[in-house]
Structure 1
Amino acid sequence: MTRDTIVLGAGMVGTSLAFHLARRGRSVLLVDRREPGRETSFGNAGIIQREAVKPYAFPRDMATLLRVLPNRRIDIRYRPQGMLAAARPLWEYWRHSAPRAYAEIVPEYASLIMRCTEEHQVMIEAAGAESLVRKNGWLKGFRTQRVFDEQLDIARNNEVRFGVEHQVLDREALKAKEPHLSDELIGAIHWTNAWTVVDPGALVQAYAQAFNALGGDIEQTEAHQLEQTSSGWRLTTASGSFDAEEVVLATGPWSQNWLRPLGYRLPMFPKRGYHMHYAMHGGAQLHHWLMDFESGFLLAPMQAGIRLTTGAELTTLEGPAHYGQLDAAEAVAKQLLPLGERRDPEPWQGSRPCMPDMKPVIGPASRHMGLWFAFGHGHQGFTLGPITGRLIGEMMSGEPPIVDMTPFRAERFADF
C-alpha cells in the first residue's frame, strides 16, 4: 500500500507532524522501533517552555570554562571521546555563541518558542489530554542575590521583547508556594505562561491516538533502510517494506544514521540527560516544577514521583552511562526537599539532538525530492513538536508558513 507520507520517528516532533499531516487529509504512516513517546520525549523535564526564547549558548567567559574543566559539575559534564567526536560542531557552537552571532539567532529561535503553547493547545484539545497538563508555570530558584538579579534583568527584557510573563518571588513568597522547601534558595522567578506535563510520554501517546483517530497508521518496528524509488520512497523494516510519495525524518539524535547514506553531512551532536523518580518523606509535597538554577538540576512532581533531571553530558550517542552527575544532583536536591527512596530500578538516560547554531533543521532536503527534515531541536523537542508539525504540514501542503523558514533550512550547513 502506497501512502502519501511516511514519518520516521514517533517522539514529540514526529508524532506532532504526523498529526498535522493527517489533519490535512494525507494518508500517513508513523514508524518507530518503540511506542510513541518512549525515547527522548519520555524522559525530559515535562515543561512546555514558553519562557525559553533564548537557546542555550556555549559558555565563552573564562571563569565559567574553568569551573567546567574539572568535570564535576551537575549542570554540564563531558566525556573526552564525546568532545573528540564532536570537535568541529562544538567549535561551531562556540563560534555561534559569540554575542553578535547569538543576537541574530535569538529572534529566529524565539519565533518558534513564542507559538509553543498555542500549538500544543490545538493538540491537547484534539487528544482530550487536558488532565496531563498544568498551566500554573514553573519556578527557577536561586542561591545568590547576584545571579538572581542577573536573571531578573534577562526576564524583564524577555517580557518586553517576547511576551514572557513572570513573577518575582522572594524567600517568603517562595516558601508560601513550596512550604516543604529548605532555606537554601533565597527566591525564584515564577514563569507564569509556561505549562508543565505530569507524564510527558503519556502526552505523546495521547497525541498519537489523536493522529490515529484521523486515520493515521502507526507501525512499531525496526527500520533498516530508506531508498528513493521512481515514484517516491521505500522504507524497509523488520516487518516489511512501506512505500510513500514523501518521507519525513524526525529521528532526533539518530538522524545522522539516515542522513549519511543519502549524502548529507550535518553537524549534529548529542547532549545526554539522566533522570530518576523519588518518593517523599513524611507526606511532604512539591507543587511546582522547580529548578535549582545555580546547581543545574530540576525537580518535577510527576505521576511516577518526584522526577530529578540532570543538566547535559557531552558524550557520544552510544557511550556508556555515567551516573555521577545524577548522584551529585541527588545529594544537593536532598538538601532542598525531603526526598525518599528511588522509585526506578535504574536511572533513565536519553540524548538531545543539538545543532551548532542552536536552531532545529525543519524543511525539505536540498538534493532529494520528497525528503523532509524535522530534527535538531536540542533541549526543546518536547516544547517545539507541535509548531514544527504545523510548519511541516504547511510547507508540504503548499500553504504559506506562519514563520519565516529560511533560518531553519538544512542548506545553512552547506560547508559541512
Structure 2
Amino acid sequence: MKTDVIVLGAGVVGISTAIHLARRGKSVVLVDRRGPAEETSYGNAGLIQREGVFPYGFPHDFGALFRYALNNTIDAHYHLSALPGLVPFLLRYWWHSGFTQHQRIAHLYAPLIENSVTEHADLIKASGAEALIRKDGWMKVFRTEKVRDAAYAEAEQLSAKFGVNHQKFTTEEMKRLEPHIRAELTGGLRWTDPWSILDPGGLLKAYVQYFQSLGGTLKAGDAATIEHVLEGEGWRIATPEGPLEATDVVVALGPWADTVTRKFGYHFPLAVKRGYHMHYGAAEGARLNNWVLDAERGYFLAPMNRGIRLTTGAEFAKRDARKTPVQLRRAERVAREFFPLAERRDEEPWMGARPCTPDMMPIIGKAPRHAGLWFAFGHAHHGMTLGPVTGRALAESMLGEKTIVDLAPYRADRFLA
C-alpha cells in the first residue's frame, strides 16, 4: 500500500494537518493506535483561546513556589519519584518563564494564537459542526480584590499589546450572570474573543469525517514501527492490513512524539503536564451559564453536552505513570462549595498528558536530518487552540507554499546541538 503522506497521531494537530494536505490534493493516511481524539485532545477545557498569547509559564515568585513545593494544591501536583528526571527540563522552563524571556516568547507565539479562531472557524464550517460551538468567550471569577485588580491590569496590558478583548463585571453583575454560584465574588472578567466547544471529542470526530470526505483514510497502526526506506526516499509503517509506504511522514503524536523522534536520533527536551477531568450533573435545578475559571483555586468548570466538566491544572509526572487524580479530589471539594454539582457522570476520572517544551512553544516544521520527515507537536495547554493553524502552516510548508505564519521560531533545530 502506498500514499503520499502518513500522518502519525489522530489528535487535533494530526487531524488538522491531514485535512490541509488532503485539501491540496495529497493522498493522506491518518494513523493512530486508537480511534481519533481518544487521547489528549479529548480531555480539555474545550476552549479556542484567542486570548492565550502568553503560554503558561513557571512561577517566579517565592510564595507560589513555596505553595507548590508543599504539593497540596489544585492547580499543580508532582510525583516525587519523577522529579530527578524532570529537574533539567524544569530549570530550563523556569528560565524561559522569566519576565524578559516570556515577553519575547509571547511575541513569537502571537501569530499562531491570532489565527486560532479563524482557522477553527474554517474547519467547523466545512465539517458542519456549528452546533458544537459557542462564541461568547470564557470567564475568570475572583474572590479577593487583590487578585481581581491584578487580573484587570493584566487584561488591559494584553488588550493594548495584542488586541484581545475583554469585559469586566462587578459583584452584582456576576450575581446576574451566574446566579447559582455560591461563592462570594468580588467580580469577574470575560475574554470575549475565544470560542468554546460543547463536545471536544465530538468536534474532532466531525473533522475526521470531513477529512474522509476529501478522500483521506484513517488506519490503525503503531507509530513505533515507522522506518526509513533506505533504498528510496520514503517511509514505511506496519498496519493490520500490511505495510504502508509514503514519501512523507508527519509526527503529530503529542506526548508520544519521542516514540519516533528518538528512533531517528532527535532528542528533544519534551516533558508532559498531565491533567484530569470529570463530568457532573447540576443539583437543585442549578445552571452554569459560562465557562468559568475559579482564579484563586485553580480549577475550571465548563458546561458541556455531557455535563459540567471539571478540569484540573498540571501534574508533573512520568508520562505513563499510573493515574493519581488527587487534584481532582481536591478540586471537587472546593467546586461543590462554589457551585451545586450533583452526581459524577464518568465511571472514573479521565487523564491526559500535555506535551511541553521548556520554551513553551511547539515544534513545527521539517526534520533537520531526514528528507520527508516533519514535526508538529509540543503545544502544551494550547493543542486544541492551535491544531488547525498548525495543520495549515505545516501543509503549506510541505508543499512549498507561503505559510500563514512564519514557522522559523518553532523550528526543530532550536533544541538540537
TM-score, normalization by structure 1: 0.98
- 1:337-356 aligned at under 5 Å gives the runs 337-356=339-358
Structure 1 runs of 4+ aligned residues shifted over 4 Å read none
Q: Distance in 2 between matches of 1:373 and 1:86?
A: 23
Tell me, yes or no, if structure 1 residue 226 matches structure 2 residue 226.
yes
- 1:192-207 aligned at under 5 Å gives the runs 192-207=192-207
Deviation at 1:239, TM superposition (A): 4.1
Q: Distance in 2 between matches of 1:30 and 1:138?
A: 32
Contact 2:89 2:269 (8 Å CA) reproduced:
yes
Q: Identity over the aligned pairs, expressed in percent?
A: 50
- Corresponding residue number in structure 2 for 1:54: 54
- Corresponding residue number in structure 2 for 1:178: 178
Deviation at 1:88, TM superposition (A): 1.3
- Corresponding residue number in structure 2 for 1:263: 265
- Corresponding residue number in structure 2 for 1:116: 116
- 1:104-253 aligned at under 5 Å gives the runs 104-229=104-229, 230-253=232-255
Give the 3-state SS of the residue equivalent to 2:250 in structure 1. strand
Contact 2:219 2:239 (8 Å CA) reproduced:
no
- Corresponding residue number in structure 2 for 1:409: 411
AA in 2 matched with 1:177? L
Contact 2:233 2:371 (8 Å CA) reproduced:
no
Contact 1:245 1:370 (8 Å CA) reproduced:
yes
Name structure 1 gaps, 5 residues minimum.
none
Contact 2:281 2:341 (8 Å CA) reproduced:
yes
AA in 1 matched with 2:220? Q
After superposition, the C-alpha distances for 1:343-363 in whole angstroms (9 at most, x for unaligned) are: 111000000000000000000
Deviation at 1:120, TM superposition (A): 0.3
Deviation at 1:249, TM superposition (A): 0.2
- Corresponding residue number in structure 1 for 2:300: 298
Deviation at 1:45, TM superposition (A): 0.6
Q: Distance in 1 between matches of 2:170 and 2:322?
A: 41
Give the 3-state SS of the residue equivalent to 2:323 in structure 1. coil
How many equivalent residue pairs? 415
Contact 1:15 1:30 (8 Å CA) reproduced:
yes
Deviates most, 238-247 or 303-312: 238-247
AA in 2 matched with 1:118? T
- Corresponding residue number in structure 2 for 1:43: 43
- Corresponding residue number in structure 1 for 2:332: 330
Q: Distance in 1 between matches of 2:402 and 2:286?
A: 51
Q: Distance in 1 between matches of 2:113 and 2:278?
A: 27
Measured on the aligned residues, the alpha-carbon RMSD in Å equals: 1.0
Contact 2:142 2:296 (8 Å CA) reproduced:
yes
Deviates most, 80-89 or 284-293: 80-89
AA in 2 matched with 1:27? S
Q: Distance in 2 between matches of 1:111 and 1:225?
A: 35
Contact 2:220 2:239 (8 Å CA) reproduced:
no
AA in 2 matched with 1:253? P
Deviation at 1:369, TM superposition (A): 0.2
Q: Distance in 1 between matches of 2:82 and 2:110?
A: 29
AA in 1 matched with 2:161? R
Deviates most, 120-129 or 223-232: 223-232
Contact 2:182 2:338 (8 Å CA) reproduced:
yes
- 1:90-109 aligned at under 5 Å gives the runs 90-109=90-109
After superposition, the C-alpha distances for 1:126-159 in whole angstroms (9 at most, x for unaligned) are: 1000000000111111111111111111111111
Q: Distance in 1 between matches of 2:355 and 2:168?
A: 33
CA shift in 2, pair 1:60/1:239, >3 Å: farther
Q: Distance in 2 between matches of 1:42 and 1:238?
A: 25
Give the 3-state SS of the residue equivalent to 2:369 in structure 1. coil
